[in-house]
Structure 1
Amino acid sequence: MRTAQSLRMIATTTRPAAAAAPPGHPLLQTLLARPTPAVMGVLNVTPDSFSDGGRFLAPEQALAQAAKLIADGADIIDIGAESTRPYGSQPVSAAEEIARLRPVLADLVALGTPVSIDSMKAEVVAFAFAQGVAIANDVWGLQRDPDMADVVAKRGAPVVVMHNRDAVDGSLDILKDIAEFFARSLEIAAKAGIPQSHIVLDPGIGFGKTPEQSMAALARLDELACFGLPLLVGASRKRFISTVSPSEPQQRLGGSIAAHLISVQRGAKIIRTHDVAETLQALRVAQAIEDQR
């Protein structure tokens, strides 16, 4: 059986019936209605994130960076208080994540741009929702914290379900692995009462994958359309870029934009990036050129 057919079978035979829902979450409808993909700006209030760890740990620095991202055109600000980089990050408790978020989160929400919380812990996500955060962004796709799906369902919020793995296995057909992971996540979501119209899927570039598998996920992103859900891609400054063109994280803007433009061609509707202005310019120019066809 061809791989694309196999993925469609996974999506259609293991995906549970969607929970009763309106046609779509209003926030997602707004974000996805525009001609170019929505842009999610990255804001790390961490000491050890791979690209900008420590730069925005202080509340005033975090708010200034958020204001810059918004001025540059970000549609969403994605704030995270624990580094999830695959190599060298230190796990922190929910209490520590909340302590990093508490001084900045309410003021960040007050800026008026939708905020997503990048956390794998239900307790942190619940705290963020109480501060007015609009979206949950779970790098373990509802599969790591057993309370996550219930917290999201209770809030009625959109959730980004990202593919992840505990260990890299270069022998896998990574698209098949991603599809099977998504099918499990959708089953968890349905049991908790999360409507499928509230779900965004993220293939997890750089997470639990070899560089080649990350590139394969980008190249074959359109195969994940079989789930009928919007796709988010965050390839910004990821390590796979350096395997093609040796570079440090801050030197990977060109590779990030290339990956994101290809992702949009393959169906991505939301792009997560550290470099909002440059990414948005590339997306707009690409769309303007396409409009001339």
Structure 2
Amino acid sequence: MPLPTRADLIRHLEEQASHPEKPKEIARALGVSPHEYHAFKEMLRELEDSGEVYRVRKGRYGPPDRLNMVVGILRVVKSGHGFVIPEGGGDDVYIHAGAMNTALHSDKVVVRIEKMRRRSGVGRPGTPGGAEGSVIKVLERARSEIVGTANVGRSHVVVSPDDPRIARDVIVPLDQSLGAKDRQKVLVEVLSWGTPHSGPVGRISEVLGSPGDPGLDILTIIKHHGLPDRFPAEVEAAAEALPHAISEAEIARREDFRDRFVVTIDPVDARDFDDALSLRRLDAETWEL
């Protein structure tokens, strides 16, 4: 008999099992042979890692919705509280700031429903009040690197995230700080997410610059969103292959203003100079701007 699929296993727990079951109980119900049991256990672990099934006391497994749990994406608001948007649809689950465990904004989490709240206007616009829960497990981190400001102390550096939705500072040992100076913008890689009572620990992977540095604002946005800050090698090669001088044929097809007096009006720290003014006299009473 072939190994049951992931869908078979989930269907059994949702429709046939009357209570959370141990792996051997599930395997017996699905007709898993002894030589397939190792592969079956591996599939069960994968389902647990993805949040499709959850392991409770005594190593028993069940579907999250049957265990009063919800799997979804955490969205943190400015107040520090959050809402988990369920993967399968339905109403958001309110999460108090003190019930987020180590989860951060946009993490995929498992939430246990703790109580039902009266409708009090708490929630995203258009979302009815209802369930309140607490994060019991983080399934997937939205990011491994965070942009923030370095606050240098005697024994360590505290990196305060720029994103106000990330409320936890990251602690960096001095020997992992790349010599970052106080108030500099840095990119910190999180090595340990800590516990609900102790903050995450990381290392500074890049010093982005000091306040007032040209282009720092753009660079921090690029790093925050994980955008590439370098062109692909083939693009760089194509740019290098371009001629440094404009050919006569190219000049002939353009309108040539090189004999005009032109002044750029871009600021000195601009990354491109594409705004300019030119003034010339056309006759005794007419000027062209």
TM-score relative to the length of structure 2 = 0.23
Richer in helix (by share): 1
Richer in strand (by share): 2
Structure of larger gyration radius:
2
TM-score relative to the length of structure 1 = 0.23
Larger relative CO (CA 8 A, sep 6+): 1 or 2?
1
